């Protein structure tokens, strides 16, 4: 399966969302084997879900908490995401790891909680430039993927997003993507056995329609997690077409 997800991060307002969803409803044509999704700020999840109707574009949260319910001010439970019709949840995005201190230990619990509520977890991994330059890239990625040793197999997408390529306009080269995606595919098999071979591995980091047609051809690249370019519905829909 291939999957393209628009990560809006903390961008857009109601007026922008109307037009974005209307473009999806008018132009999105589902094709077998390729999923498309939007991850809006949580305050707009229900609105986006309603406006997309049954056009086939899925809705993802950008984060959620692992506890079932209770005194966790400011957090959202997986059950609440499911309750409003959410399809999945991004977990461990580099901005959550680096700005908000998300840990692998919390991610183990979040992946399990997402699965318990039938939400597709998208586990984001990626090295910083200092880690890559310091020869620590594979070690860091292995450690981030070790979350899956504790969760075991189940519904999953992995998004490889080199931190230095996110929002910088500096996309990884085809060779860099080839090398890391082959490594991630091997690790997934080592950790999850045959089930690991079925896990889609998205690339993320300054993806645009100009660079994506080449990246999507790279072995073990099965989609994209897209920030900046996916704030524009025409570009998002173009990326989906490229994956199809
Ligand atoms: C992202 O949001 O995960 C991302 C990769 O952002 P951008 O496409 O803007 O680099």
The strand pairing partners of 224, in sequence order, are: 4, 203
Q: Is the CB of 144 under 6 A from ligand 1?
A: no
Is 75 in the active site?
A: no
CA of 176 to the centre of ligand 1 (A): 17
User: What is the model's pLDDT at position 122?
Assistant: 98
* Position in ligand 1 atom list of the atom nearest CA 169: 10
Q: Is the CB of 167 under 6 A from ligand 1?
A: yes
pLDDT band at 227 (very low <50, low <70, confident <90, very high): very high
Q: How far apart are CA 45 and CA 36, in angstroms?
A: 15
User: What is the model's pLDDT at position 80?
Assistant: 98
Choose the catalytic residue: 127, 131, 161, 187.
Answer: 161
Average pLDDT of the chain to the nearest whole number: 97
User: What is the model's pLDDT at position 219?
Assistant: 97
* CATH number for the domain harbouring residue 100: 3.20.20.70
CA dihedral sign of residues 211, 216, 218, 220? positive
CA of 213 to the centre of ligand 1 (A): 17
**Pocket residue to mutate for ligand 1, from 11, 95, 123, 161, most atoms within 8 A of Cβ:** 161
pLDDT tens by residue, 109-141: 999 999 999 999 999 999 999 999 999 999 999
Of the chain, the percentage scoring pLDDT greater than 70 comes to: 100
User: What is the model's pLDDT at position 37?
Assistant: 98
Q: Is the CB of 95 under 6 A from ligand 1?
A: no
* Position in ligand 1 atom list of the atom nearest CA 204: 5
Map tokens 């007026």 to a residue.
Answer: 15
pLDDT tens by residue, 16-73: 999 999 999 999 999 999 999 999 999 999 999 999 999 999 999 999 999 999 999 9
pLDDT band at 178 (very low <50, low <70, confident <90, very high): very high
Is 93 in the active site?
A: yes
Q: Which two tokens stand for residue 109?
A: 């619990």
What pTM did the predictor assign?
0.97
pLDDT band at 243 (very low <50, low <70, confident <90, very high): very high
User: What is the model's pLDDT at position 133?
Assistant: 94
What residues contact 141, with CB distance under 8 A and at least 6 apart? 125, 126, 127, 160, 180, 183, 184, 187
CA of 123 to the centre of ligand 1 (A): 14
**Structural domain harbouring 49:** 2-243
Minimal-distance CA residue to ligand 1 atom 8: 227
Q: How many domains does the chain divide into?
A: 1
Q: Is the CB of 161 under 6 A from ligand 1?
A: yes
User: What is the model's pLDDT at position 113?
Assistant: 98
Average pLDDT estimate for 102-110: 98
User: What is the model's pLDDT at position 197?
Assistant: 96
User: What is the model's pLDDT at position 162?
Assistant: 97
Average pLDDT estimate for 211-233: 97
């Amino acid at each position: 399966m291939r999957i393209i997800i628009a990560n809006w991060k903390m961008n857009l307002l109601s007026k922008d969302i109307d037009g974005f969803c209307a473009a999806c409803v008018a132009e999105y044509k589902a094709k077998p084997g390729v999923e498309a999704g939007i991850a809006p700020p949580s305050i707009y999840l229900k609105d986006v879900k309603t406006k997309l109707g049954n056009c086939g574009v899925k809705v993802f949260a950008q984060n959620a908490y692992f506890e079932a319910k209770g005194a966790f001010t400011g957090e959202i439970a997986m059950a609440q995401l499911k309750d409003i019709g959410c399809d999945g949840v991004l977990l461990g995005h580099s901005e959550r790891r680096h700005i908000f201190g998300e840990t692998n230990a919390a991610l183990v619990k979040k992946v399990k909680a997402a699965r318990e509520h039938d939400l597709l977890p998208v586990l984001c991994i990626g090295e910083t430039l200092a880690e890559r330059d310091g020869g620590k890239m594979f070690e860091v990625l292995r450690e981030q993927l070790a979350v899956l040793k504790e969760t075991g197999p189940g519904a999953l997408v992995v998004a490889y997003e080199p931190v230095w390529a996110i929002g910088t306009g500096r996309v990884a080269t085809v060779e860099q993507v080839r090398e890391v995606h082959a490594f991630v595919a091997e690790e997934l098999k080592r950790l999850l056995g045959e089930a690991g071979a079925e896990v889609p591995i998205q690339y993320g980091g300054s993806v645009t329609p100009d660079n994506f047609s080449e990246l999507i051809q790279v072995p073990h690249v099965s989609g994209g997690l897209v920030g900046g370019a996916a704030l524009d519905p025409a570009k998002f829909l173009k990326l989906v077409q490229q994956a199809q």
